[in-house]
């Protein structure tokens, strides 16, 4: 087999080095015939040699060696092809056509080996440059993807990362991908991105794209750093510990629900991006837990009671405060996804007056803040009194603003309705 491959190298060198020859001449016909016949004999010999391998280990070694030698041969043919690519002379046009045919045949053989002997195929072997050259629609797909992401208002930094990744597929003298694995991953990712930009727009396409990238194990280091920064921006700084904690736990839940589409990421030597992101979130949660232990000790004076960290005090009982929150929530002045957020905040940060329970727990508050609206008349009267005093304060201290508001309301009333009322 090596002998046939060596002959292929010799004949392609001999054929490629022909200059200013007569396409109808004997020398050209001889060298063309030698190259074609040698390639034909290689194809026949390949099938024969595959059948001669009597163990899986021997077959694996043979496939890998053949793959590497074919790739080197393909790149040599490509160099000769590039020399005559732009030529219009008859002799070099014929050379170019033959090189084109040989390259396509080599790719077919490599695809055959990858498809039929995937367990033996070296996915970490380099990819022939011809494969990048013949894919002419890559630029069009890239432009379509980037344009689609911009229309969906996806985060600009994430678009830059995607654009840089798509630029890896280009015709150049350098290795665009390190190996077949990355090339195959690239094709799958491009298909996924094309489907994404064709999907209907949503309120948060950035997060939807992030989920898709994590599902496809997009484990580029640039994407990991983007995720770390993106999560940090979602967490409110200088807020009570519970707020960033709840945000991080929600993100952790959302990320954990992502279905993996590909087990091996772009860089198979790096852990899955899902594990990296989870690890980053868990680290931030552990830091918050340590800060809470410093700022809000769980045990005080051996009583095993939680120490409060009161930000302010209100001149009302806990029942009156919760009724006040109930009213504000009913008119959508306060909006919270979970009432437990209010319970925790009140428990730890608001000191109330004359509270029946000196250490009210969230469960105790939940019993008060129930859907039944069962509050005593005294509680209702007291809260209404506070609200009345607030309104009186506004009327007394901001009369000009109130007068302007009344003028605006009068001007909004239709003239005929105003006079008829008068």
Which DSSP string corresponds to 32-92?
HHHHHHHHHHHHHHHHHHHHH--SHHHHHHHHHHHHHHHHHHHHHHHHHHHHHTT--SHHH
What pLDDT is recorded for position 301? 44
Handedness of CA 109, 111, 112, 113 (dihedral sign): positive
Identify the domain boundary among 273, 294, 315.
294
- 74 sits in the region (left: phi over 0; alpha: psi -120 to 50; else beta) called alpha
pLDDT band at 24 (very low <50, low <70, confident <90, very high): low
Identify the domain boundary among 294, 328, 344.
294
Q: Are residues 143 and 288 in the same domain?
A: yes
pLDDT of residue 107 exceeding 80: yes
Burial class (CB in 10 A: 0-12, 13-18, 19+), 383: buried
pLDDT band at 302 (very low <50, low <70, confident <90, very high): very low
Q: Are residues 102 and 170 in the same domain?
A: no
pLDDT of residue 308 exceeding 70: no
Q: Which of 13-17, 129-133, 389-393 has the lowest mean pLDDT?
A: 13-17
Q: Are residues 19 and 83 in the same domain?
A: yes
What pLDDT is recorded for position 418? 47
Tell how far CA 75 is from the center of its chain: 34
pLDDT of residue 146 exceeding 90: yes
Residue 130 lies in a domain: no
Query: Which of 416 and 202 is assigned the larger pLDDT?
Result: 202
pLDDT of residue 300 exceeding 90: no
Residue 127 lies in a domain: no
User: Could you report the per-residue pLDDT of 182-192, keeping only the tens digit for each?
Assistant: 889 998 999 99
Can you tell me the distance from the alpha carbon of 319 to that of 376, in angstroms, rounded to the nearest whole number? 9
Q: Are residues 153 and 92 in the same domain?
A: no
Q: Are residues 22 and 116 in the same domain?
A: yes
Can you tell me the distance from the alpha carbon of 35 to that of 33, in angstroms, rounded to the nearest whole number? 5
Please say whether the beta carbons of 365 and 318 come within 8 A: yes
Average pLDDT, the chain: 80
Q: Are residues 314 and 252 in the same domain?
A: no
Q: What are phi and psi of 312, to 5 degrees?
A: -160, 175
Q: Which of 70-84, 109-123, 346-360 has the lowest mean pLDDT?
A: 346-360
Give which of 183, 184, 208, 187 is closest to 196, Cα–Cα: 208
pLDDT of residue 309 exceeding 70: no
Query: Which of 55 and 353 is assigned the larger pLDDT?
Result: 55
Can you tell me the distance from the alpha carbon of 319 to that of 309, in angstroms, rounded to the nearest whole number? 20
Q: Which of 10-24, 28-42, 349-363, 367-381 has the lowest mean pLDDT?
A: 10-24
Residue 23 lies in a domain: yes
Residue 420 lies in a domain: yes
Q: Are residues 322 and 396 in the same domain?
A: no
Q: Are residues 149 and 275 in the same domain?
A: yes
Residue 269 lies in a domain: yes
pTM more than 0.85: no
| pLDDT mean over 92-98 | 82
Q: Are residues 310 and 219 in the same domain?
A: no
pLDDT of residue 355 exceeding 60: no
pLDDT of residue 303 exceeding 50: no
pLDDT band at 121 (very low <50, low <70, confident <90, very high): very high
Provide the number of structural domains found in the chain.
4
Residue 235 lies in a domain: yes
User: Could you report the per-residue pLDDT of 58-89, keeping only the tens digit for each?
Assistant: 999 989 998 998 898 889 889 888 888 888 88
Identify the domain boundary among 354, 374, 394.
374
Can you tell me the distance from the alpha carbon of 185 to that of 262, in angstroms, rounded to the nearest whole number? 9
Residue 345 lies in a domain: yes
What pLDDT is recorded for position 33? 80
Q: Are residues 234 and 351 in the same domain?
A: no
User: Could you report the per-residue pLDDT of 284-298, keeping only the tens digit for each?
Assistant: 888 888 877 766 554
pLDDT of residue 247 exceeding 70: yes
Q: Are residues 404 and 289 in the same domain?
A: no
Q: Are residues 226 and 275 in the same domain?
A: yes
What pLDDT is recorded for position 339? 76
Percentage of residues of the chain with pLDDT beyond 90 = 25
Structural domain boundaries enclosing 38: 2-122
Residue 128 lies in a domain: no
């Amino acid at each position: 087999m090596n002998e046939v491959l060596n002959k292929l190298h010799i004949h392609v060198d001999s054929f490629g080095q022909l200059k200013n020859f007569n396409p109808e001449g004997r020398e050209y016909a001889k060298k063309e015939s030698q190259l074609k016949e040698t390639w034909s004999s290689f194809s026949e010999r390949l099938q024969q040699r595959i059948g001669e391998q009597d163990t899986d280990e021997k077959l694996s070694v043979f496939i890998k060696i053949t793959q590497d030698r074919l790739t080197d041969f393909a790149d040599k043919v490509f160099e000769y092809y590039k020399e005559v690519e732009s030529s219009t002379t008859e002799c070099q046009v014929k050379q170019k056509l033959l090189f084109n045919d040989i390259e396509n045949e080599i790719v077919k053989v490599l695809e055959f080996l990858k498809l039929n002997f995937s367990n033996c195929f070296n996915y970490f072997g380099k990819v022939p440059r011809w494969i990048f050259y013949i894919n002419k629609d890559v630029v069009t797909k890239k432009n379509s993807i980037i344009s689609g992401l911009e229309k969906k208002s996806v985060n600009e930094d994430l678009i830059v990362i995607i654009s840089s990744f798509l630029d890896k597929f280009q015709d150049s003298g350098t290795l665009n991908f390190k190996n077949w694995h990355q090339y195959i991953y690239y094709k799958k990712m491009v298909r996924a991105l094309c489907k994404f930009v064709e999907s209907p727009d949503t309120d948060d396409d950035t997060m939807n794209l992030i989920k898709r990238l994590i599902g496809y194990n997009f484990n580029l280091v640039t994407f990991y750093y983007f995720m770390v920064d993106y999560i940090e921006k979602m967490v409110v700084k200088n807020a009570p510990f519970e707020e960033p904690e709840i945000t991080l736990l929600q993100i952790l839940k959302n990320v954990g629900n992502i279905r993996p589409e590909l087990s091996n990421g772009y860089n198979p030597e790096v852990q899955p991006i899902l594990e990296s992101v989870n690890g980053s979130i868990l680290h931030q949660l552990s830091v918050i837990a340590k800060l809470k232990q410093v700022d809000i000790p769980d045990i005080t004076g051996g009583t095993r009671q939680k120490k409060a960290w009161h930000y302010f005090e209100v001149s009302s009982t806990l029942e009156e405060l919760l009724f006040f929150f109930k009213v504000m929530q009913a008119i959508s002045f306060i909006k919270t996804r979970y009432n437990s957020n209010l319970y925790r905040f009140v428990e730890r940060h608001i000191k109330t007056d004359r509270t029946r329970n000196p250490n009210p727990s969230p469960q105790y508050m939940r019993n008060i803040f129930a859907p039944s609206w069962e509050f005593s008349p005294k509680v209702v009267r007291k809260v209404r009194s506070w609200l009345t005093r607030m309104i009186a304060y506004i009327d007394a201290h901001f009369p000009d603003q109130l007068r302007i508001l009344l003028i605006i309301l009068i001007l909004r009333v239709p003239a005929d309705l105003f006079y008829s009322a008068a």
